[in-house]
Amino acid sequence: MGDWEAASLSFEDVRVPDRNLLGEPGGGMELALNWIGQKRYVIPSRAAERLPGMAVEYAKIRKSMGHPIADYQAIQWQIADSQVEIESTKWLTLYAAWRSQQGLDARHATSIAKLHGAVMANEVMDRVLQIHGGLGYAKELPIERWYRNVRVWRIFEGTDEIQRRTIARNLLKGHATLGSIGE
């Protein structure tokens, strides 16, 4: 669906010098899971502020029924909602990154940022395409490609469902409290 190509790697008789060993022998999976968990906020941090900017510019120049479509409340609300969602993702992402940088447990904050950012990016992308009408769907602009590429954000580095599971488990087991995303 997106611009992704799967690669198949195989290793045979590979010897890795001790100095290049990451972690302890036999601890690779734990290391990988720890890395994935800590860096999930990278996904929403990609949510480009450029997207609503494109919608704003197009809404000002595209005319329908004698007026720029920016004059219509239906368009204005889509632009406003997109800005709100991008700002909220930005702060959730910065908070998760700050916790990680401070050496604090960032897993709960990261799951929240990743879930919100991935869902939000897809909603914003859909609105940007919608505001561009048929042109948004056509290949002349990069929007349809971004639309396809952004979809995978809800799947890799932990699906939406797995993030929700993590968040709920943290709350149910008392690892996090409602109203706090990181204590």
Q: In the chain, count of helices (H) and strands (E)?
A: 8, 2
Q: Are 109 and 96 in contact (CB under 8 A)?
A: yes
Set 144, 157, 161, 183: catalytic member: 157
What is the token pair recorded at 179? 């109203």
Bridge partners for 64 per DSSP: 67
Rank residues 6 and 65 by Cβ distance to ligand FAD and give the closer one: 6
Residue 148 Cβ, how far from ligand FAD at the closest point, in Å?
11
Residue 165 binds to ligand FAD (criterion: CB under 6 A): yes
Residue 91 binds to ligand FAD (criterion: CB under 6 A): no
Residue 35 binds to ligand FAD (criterion: CB under 6 A): no
Among this protein's residues, is 57 annotated catalytic? no
Residue 34 binds to ligand FAD (criterion: CB under 6 A): no
Residue 152 binds to ligand FAD (criterion: CB under 6 A): yes
Q: Report the alpha-carbon distance of residue 16 to residue 29 in Å, rounded.
A: 17
CA-CA distances (angstroms) from residue 36 to 43, 69, 70, 88, 158?
A: 11, 42, 41, 22, 9
Residue 130 Cβ, how far from ligand FAD at the closest point, in Å?
24
Residue 161 binds to ligand FAD (criterion: CB under 6 A): yes
The label of the residue with tokens 């899971």 reads 33
Rank residues 43 and 75 by Cβ distance to ligand FAD and give the closer one: 43
What are residue 11's phi and psi, to 5 degrees? -125, 130
Kindly list the catalytic residues.
157
Task: State the residues that interact with ligand FAD by CB under 6 A.
Answer: 4, 152, 155-156, 159, 161-162, 165
